[in-house]
Amino acid sequence: MITLTVNGEARDIAAPARTHLADALREHCGLTGTHLGCEQGVCGACTVLVDGQPMRSCLIYAHEAAGMEVTTIEGLDEDPVAAALRDAFNRHHALQCGYCTPGMMVTARDIVTRLGAVDEDRIRAELAGNLCRCTGYRGIVRAIAEVAATRPALPAPAPRPVVAAPAAPPPVAVAPAAALTNRLEHAETLALAPDAAWAILSDPARAVACLPGARLLHREGEAIAGEIRVALGPLAARFAGEGTLRFDAATRTGELRGRGAEGANAAEGEVIWRVEPDGEGSRLHLDIGWRLTGPLAQFSRPSLVRGVVAGLAADFARNLEGAARGQAPPPAPGLWSLLRRLVRGWFSRRA
């Protein structure tokens, strides 16, 4: 049982530790004016005042808020700034469906009270954390600007170095249409003759043993089933999946296509590998495509995936060389498996 003050009233809430403040307000206090959009801090619909400061109620757990003062949209009825904003929102058509409005009002009130009379650019920058899908923001910005103009400006801030114009990323070349939304290519040099490398790469049991975290569970003809555990600091996932595996010995090319799932996350992808002679040794080319759906996709950071793949591929290449020399997969782990071992059981029971 925790106690917090909601809109001036002490509330005892019996909720499990994983209940975030927004759910506690909605489900346990019946205050449904606080809306939930994304539950990951991006949309701003759940913004409430905690000890007078706007905060994301989806990113505070109710137990953390014990002893704090929470003000929701319902608690702003008598607030004079909120009253002026409601009037201005009404006249400037600053809402349509109303879903974002409670969070918008809390943020708007913070802009007006904290910054006073500010220009439109600043209002838009401050509103970046509150998404509205109806109005196009013009009415919201006008409403806030009107109320802000009536407030005294705060003392000028201390002088700062001249700020460079915000940089836009350079235009990105349009990638050819592909069914899989993410693609990357990677190459590793192997201290192995092409035939020696291919001997292992064309044997699924031996090849999978070289991939840190991977296990081959079943194989029948081209059909294959397995799992891979991937961990990155506190992030950890174990994907189990099945797919088809094909080899072309003439071109020393292999193809794995498959799909897998981990809880609500689903992944599908393909890996095409090719071994080419390179001086005394050989070169392993990887062409990887994947698509994620589920929460992991919402968080998708392709650039980080690139880093993970590069790390895994480097470990794979070294293990492959070891396997060709008759060594078992390494007792001394590479960087990525070392990291995995480091975080196993520390951050996540699924690691």
Partner 1 sequence: MKPVAFEHATAATLDEARALLTTGAKPMAGGQSLGPMLNLRLVRPERLVDIKRVPGLRGFTETETHLTLGAATTHAEIEDGRVPDVTNGLMRHVAGGIAYRAVRNRGTLGGSLAHADPAADWPSVMAALGATILTSGGRRLPADGFLRAPFTTALEPGEIITAVEIPRQPPGARWGYCKINRKIGEFAKAIGIATPTRLLAGAVEGPPTLLDRVEDIPARLPWLDPAAQRLAAIAVTRAQAMRDS
Contact in structure between 221 and 245 (CB atoms under 8 Å): no
Contact in structure between 217 and 227 (CB atoms under 8 Å): yes
Among 191, 216, 225, 235, the residue binding partner 1 under the rule CB under 8 A is 235
Among 6, 60, 112, 224, the residue binding partner 1 under the rule CB under 8 A is 60
Closest CB to partner 1 among 29 and 60? 60
Contact flag: residue 156 with partner 1 (CB under 8 A): no
Q: Is 144 left (phi over 0), alpha (psi -120 to 50) or beta?
A: alpha
Residues 6+ apart with CB under 8 A from 147: 81, 84, 85, 88, 108, 112
Contact flag: residue 161 with partner 1 (CB under 8 A): yes
Tell which positions 106-125 bind partner 1, by CB under 8 A: 107, 110, 125
The distance of closest approach from Cβ of residue 125 to partner 1 in the complex, given in angstroms and rounded to an integer, is 6
Residues in the chain: 351
Sheet with 253-262: list strands edge to edge. 182-190, 281-293, 265-278, 253-262, 235-248, 223-232, 214-220
Contact flag: residue 151 with partner 1 (CB under 8 A): no
The distance of closest approach from Cβ of residue 83 to partner 1 in the complex, given in angstroms and rounded to an integer, is 22
Closest CB to partner 1 among 32 and 346? 346
The distance of closest approach from Cβ of residue 322 to partner 1 in the complex, given in angstroms and rounded to an integer, is 23
In this structure, the dihedral spanned by the alpha carbons of residues 166, 171, 172 and 176, taken in order and rounded to 10 degrees, is 150
**Mask: binding to partner 1, 246-265, rule CB under 8 A, as x and -?**
-----------------xx-
C-alpha distance from residue 134 to each of 9, 43, 94, 96, 125 (Å): 34, 14, 9, 6, 18
Contact flag: residue 68 with partner 1 (CB under 8 A): no
Among the listed ranges 133-141, 210-218, 283-291, 304-312, the one in contact with partner 1 (CB under 8 A) is: 304-312
For residue 223, give the H/E element and its range: strand 223-232
Among 8, 169, 221, 279, the residue binding partner 1 under the rule CB under 8 A is 169
Task: Report the alpha-carbon distance of residue 94 to residue 296 in Å, rounded.
Answer: 33
The distance of closest approach from Cβ of residue 160 to partner 1 in the complex, given in angstroms and rounded to an integer, is 5
**Mask: binding to partner 1, 194-223, rule CB under 8 A, as x and -?**
------------------------------
Task: Report the alpha-carbon distance of residue 108 to residue 126 in Å, rounded.
Answer: 9
Contact flag: residue 53 with partner 1 (CB under 8 A): yes
Among 5, 28, 33, 63, the residue binding partner 1 under the rule CB under 8 A is 63
Q: Which of 18, 11, 31, 26 is nearest to 61 (CA)?
A: 18
Measure CA of the first residue to CA of the last residue in the chain; give whole Å: 31
Contact flag: residue 347 with partner 1 (CB under 8 A): yes
Contact flag: residue 234 with partner 1 (CB under 8 A): yes
**Mask: binding to partner 1, 322-341, rule CB under 8 A, as x and -?**
-------------x---x--
Closest CB to partner 1 among 213 and 347? 347
Task: Report the alpha-carbon distance of residue 72 to residue 25 in Å, rounded.
Answer: 8
